[in-house]
Chain A
Amino acid sequence: MTDLTQSAGDRFPATRWSVLQAARSSNQAERSRAIDTLCAAYWKPVYKYIRLRWNRPVPDAQDLTQGFFVQLLERSLLEKFDPAKSRLRTYLRLCADSFVMNEQKAATRQKRGGNIAHVPLDFSAAEQELGGAAPVDPASIPSPESLEEFFEREWIRGLFELAVEDLRVYCGAHDRERTFLLFEKYDLSGDDGVSYDRLAGEYHMPVSHVTNCLAWARREFRRIALERLRELCGSEDEFQREAHAVFGWEAK
């Protein structure tokens, strides 16, 4: 199994269609890598979803999140997924719902920490993003439709975080660390005060160079994000729909 920051080259080869095919492979190593890839993309949305949808306290939500991915592997749930019927993220969200309900009923949950030890799950960061570890006020729990939107948004956030890390690694491998720095300052900082002129002055380069660097980084970011997305889809049709949901236009 790999780390969350696995680079594009460490993941499935470009010729492989998707993580689903790998998850159905007879090769144990490939199956494990498939679950790793899924876990890397989905653990945060699943964790936040369990916290919000099921109003579970932090330790329970952490345990349920890990348990969910273990069950995904053990019960071969991915093999039952049919891309013609639904999107993978919808399927996983429904699986998570079903898993939490079953766990509630059985109340036989055991601590599962360590079962997916190769994917470090930074729950404290996820909790911070959620706005604190305080118990969720039941009155503030959104409607099922809003929860679906919430899950989609968190899934996109997770996908982009992975793509940003991939881009960082890619830039490092291609001697473009400065390009990534520019991208980080202009596009990832969320600071409206940053301008092309300011960056040009800061890094002693012409504005046109900043322009070119940022255009390159955005293009590469998009390519990497779409690559990641392609891995996480079960069919070309699903990929096109998801690409539209993520970027708002057809992926070429």
Chain B
Amino acid sequence: MNADTFVEECRREWKRLGVPAEIAGEMAAELRSDLADAAADHVPPEELLGAGAFDAPAFAASWASERGVVPATPPRRRRPVLPALVAAAIVLAAAALAVALFAGRSTHQARPATSPIASGGAIVVLDPKSGAVRRLVLQETSLVRHRLKLAHP
């Protein structure tokens, strides 16, 4: 591990975290002088830095955090739960109402125009996109459940 590189990595992390420049400079100077002393005594950096010697950003973040020099980020505002639940309930109710109305109208409109399915008749339905009434013509009695051809009225 190169001491200068390690210190520079720490500085970058402190800058990223928003540690005030003066404090970051002080910590960097302390680290640099201690690493130089350790090197002069032939002491490996791990003796001074522990496992942090292999992960400069983690080491830097830990030090700054413990020292209390990382600016606090504003806590996330929690969204109120009750209004969200009420909104979800309203949406669900509206969807259920729409489905019920649609089903009722389809049934109502289909009934008069529909011949018995066994004879290969037709079903009149309301197109939900265009709002137009369409007629589904059943092609073959035996394939009534599988093959439907959409025919314009």
The reply to whether chain A is a binding partner of chain B is no
